[in-house]
Amino acid sequence: MKDLIDLERYPLGKPDNLGWKDLVESCKASLAKDGLFNLQGFFRPEALAGAVEELKPVLDHEAFTHARRHNIFFKKDIVGLESDHPALTEFETSNRTICADQMGRAAVIRLYEWRPFAQFLAAVMDKTELFTMQDPLARVNVMGYSDGQALNWHFDRSEFTTTLMLQAPDEGGDFEYDQDLRSDINPNFEGVADLLEGRRTPTLITLEPGTLNIFKGKNTAHRVTPVRGDQDRIIAVFSYYERSGVQFSEQERIGFYGRAS
């Protein structure tokens, strides 16, 4: 794995090492304070170039274009809200997606299946253990955003999201978020409306290629701003669960990828 990851800087394969323990504690502190952490330079530059080279032809010619109009909740109706409430404002989301079964033994698949990677993520997230998905499509996805495409405002279904930035666009494609905008007991619909109508100032960060990002997005509103220019934004998304054997339903696969298998 040393051909992919800067293991001197990020000693993921050595859980008994003081450097590993210090890294975990630093990441946990950032998660608690900021709701995310970034490991810049996680992927080596030469590995990054190779990863883009092997995935881009698939993105260009075999990807599923996922385009939909949605509100921040990804639900048509919310109990307690009128249909014209500003918290239910709809936006356009569009990107191109390839699935794990289209990647062979690509670098991102090798990273995903490397057990010390999941062990590190579990330690940072205070989980006993994390498992790879059994789903042949959803376990690893790579998303490409071309000129004009964006991932609009939403809350995540899962507690954490793990991504690796593979290629940055010429312009745009920034990550924007409003931390802890809601909670499990307070939906804060008025705060959501304020965000969507421009009365709140979210945090904006630009992720450099090679950066590993861990993000708590269940109650933090976030989006990827529209991409501009000829170069795509390309990012890998890794899915882990606290139980083994997780798969999406056929309906979920069709909705996300346009096919069931």
Task: Write the DSSP string, 84-150.
Answer: T-GGG--EEEEEEEEEGGGSTT-HHHHHHH-HHHHHHHHHHTT-S--EE---TTTSEEEEEE-TT--
Which tens digit of pLDDT belongs to each residue from 126-139? 999 999 999 999 99
By residue range, what is the domain housing residue 237?
Answer: 18-257
Exposed, middle or buried: residue 155 (CB in 10 Å: 0-12, 13-18, 19+)? Answer: middle
DSSP-derived secondary structure letter, 57: H
231, pLDDT greater than 90 = yes
- Examine residue 13 and state whether it is found in any structural domain, yes or no: no
- Examine residue 201 and state whether it is found in any structural domain, yes or no: yes
Structure tokens of 213?
């990002």
The continuous run of DSSP H or E covering 36 comes out as: strand 36-39
> How confident is the model over 24-34, as a mean pLDDT?
96
> How confident is the model over 185-210, as a mean pLDDT?
97
User: Which of 73-82, 205-214, 227-236, 241-250 is predicted with the least confidence, judged by mean pLDDT?
Assistant: 73-82
- Examine residue 11 and state whether it is found in any structural domain, yes or no: no
164, pLDDT greater than 90 = yes
195, pLDDT greater than 90 = yes
- Examine residue 129 and state whether it is found in any structural domain, yes or no: yes
CATH number at residue 179: 2.60.120.620
Whole-structure pTM value: 0.96
> How confident is the model over 193-204, as a mean pLDDT?
97
Q: Which pLDDT value is given to residue 197?
A: 97
How many structural domains are present in the chain?
1
- Examine residue 200 and state whether it is found in any structural domain, yes or no: yes
Burial of 180-202, coded b for 16+ CB within 10 Å and e otherwise, reads ebbeeeebbbebbbbbbeeeeeb
pLDDT band at 198 (very low <50, low <70, confident <90, very high): very high
Structure tokens of 172?
């745009």
pLDDT band at 1 (very low <50, low <70, confident <90, very high): very high
Q: Which pLDDT value is given to residue 80?
A: 85
Backbone phi, then psi, for 104, in 5-degree steps? Answer: 55, -130
pLDDT band at 58 (very low <50, low <70, confident <90, very high): very high
> How confident is the model over 169-192, as a mean pLDDT?
97
**Residue 163, Ramachandran bin (φ over 0: left; ψ between -120 and 50: alpha; else beta):** beta
Question: What is the spatial distance between Cα 45 and Cα 48, in angstroms, rounded to a whole number?
Answer: 5
> How confident is the model over 4-26, as a mean pLDDT?
95
* C-alpha closest to that of 42 among 216, 164, 215, 168: 164
Return mean pLDDT, the chain: 96
